[in-house]
Structure 1
Amino acid sequence: MTLRHLPNTITGLRLVMAPVLPWLLMTGHPRAALCLALAAGLSDLVDGQLAKRFGWQSRLGSLLDPIADKLMLGCALGGLWALGVLPSWLVLLVLARDVVIVAGAAAWWRLAGPFDASPSLLSKLTTAVQVGLVLLCLVQLAGWTVPLQVLKEAVVAVALLTFLSGMDYVIRYGVRAWQHNRTPPA
């Protein structure tokens, strides 16, 4: 392996770490789960910085990185749900948004071809707030006190932003699809 492949290797390790997080939660190791989540977040920063700084970006990395991020976040949410820390409706809302986005992207690709799938600012904010909620829950489970009101507000923020972000994708790409279908072939 050359250093050029280091970012993809780090991303691959994050893919492997993802299912370990809920296992740690379910087996009563919340501090280890918190450490793993923090390590995953740090690895995401490191692989991105390495790829950008040294020009080590690759098509594989651009595909694997968001998959690793979503898998880690999904496994964390699933583990927290299984412990009864997060409500079912919230986890289902997050899952439904992601399914809608993936289904829409697949439909677009099938009907209109490739497109630029760069996330919106709202989508990035949604992911950041989801990660924040996961970290708050992990901190609470690890034995540090997080005020109940803060957790409730974080749940509301995640729900609201997740819903709005999902609607944003549906509307934005729905309009693009409509415009694409109305554009005469050259």
Structure 2
Amino acid sequence: MQASNFGSLPNLITLLRLVLVPAIVAMIASQRWVAACLIFLVAGLSDAADGWIAKQFNLRTELGAYLDPLADKALLVSIYVALAITRTVPVTLTIIIVARDLMIIGAFMVAWLLQKPMRVEPLLISKLNTAAQIAFAALVLGIKAFALSPEPWFGWGVYGVALLTLVSMAAYFWRWIHHMEV
């Protein structure tokens, strides 16, 4: 099958991830943990699939460069807020995750408003951070869905995700300061 037959498949997969966000949040809110876990796993796997397809078949687009991080942010921020509201993860962890994403979005907006737009290009630490956030959310949902013991992984996961998120925030902030010539 030729790449042209795939059309905008990566972007469609990314849009599917966006559509799944309200469903996952609704499942968490109603404490339907198995459904939340399964839908979240589909969403998490779609993140890997759209990127792989785009790279493998040279289907990267400017729209995809914006949609993919937007879908990641919508998914992860929504999930962590829902998990914090249900007292499943510490509120502090959710605040760190939301603050990082707001800082990144704010930095890109300020750069754009000052007519110094930045390229949308994820840093390696950001990719690691996203993978850790997805893995930890899947772990938490799996623990709830299958009534597993959270120890010892839960505590390590909270601290690991918090640390990676803070390091990622600092890296983007440093990149923005450099870009803006502050």
TM-score normalised by length of structure 2? 0.89
Q: 2:110 aligns with which of 100, 107, 111?
A: 107
24, 28, 34: which is aligned to 1:25? Answer: 28
Contact 2:44 2:134 in 1 (8 A): no
Secondary structure of the equivalent of 1:86? coil
Percent of aligned positions with the same letter in both sequences? Answer: 35
Aligned CA distance change for structure 1 residues 176 and 6 (closer, same or farther; 3 Å): closer
Instruction: Tell me the C-alpha RMSD between the 2 structures.
Output: 1.8
Q: Any unmatched runs of 5+ in structure 2?
A: none
1:81 aligns with 2:84: yes
Q: Pairwise mapping of residues 156-175 of structure 1 onto structure 2 (< 5 A)?
A: 156-175=159-178
Secondary structure at the aligned position of 1:19 is classed as helix
Partners of 2:124 and 2:60 in 1: CA distance: 22
Counterpart of 1:125?
Answer: 128
2:159, 2:39 → 1: CA distance? 25
* Pick aligned residue for 1:65 from 65, 68, 86: 68
SS at match of 2:7: helix
Extract structure 1 runs of 4+ deviating beyond 4 A: none
| Alignment CA distance shift 1:65-1:29 (3 Å) | same
Give the aligned residue type for 1:79. A
Deviation, structure 1 residue 146: 4.0
- 1:141 positional shift: 0.5
Task: Tell me the matched-pair count.
Answer: 178
Determine if the alignment matches structure 1 residue 34 to structure 2 residue 37: yes
Q: Which residue of 1 aligns with 2:17?
A: 14
What is the aligned partner in structure 2 of residue 43 from structure 1? 46
Matching residue's letter, 2:76: L
Q: d(CA) in 1 for partners of 2:65 and 2:132?
A: 22
Q: Distance in 1 between matches of 2:105 and 2:154?
A: 29
- Work out the CA distance in 1 between the residues paired with 2:78 and 2:165: 17
- Whichever residue aligns with residue 63 of structure 1, its letter is Y
> Does the 8 Å contact 1:136/1:146 carry over to 2?
no
Deviation, structure 1 residue 144: 4.4
Secondary structure of 2:152's counterpart equals helix
Larger radius of gyration: 1
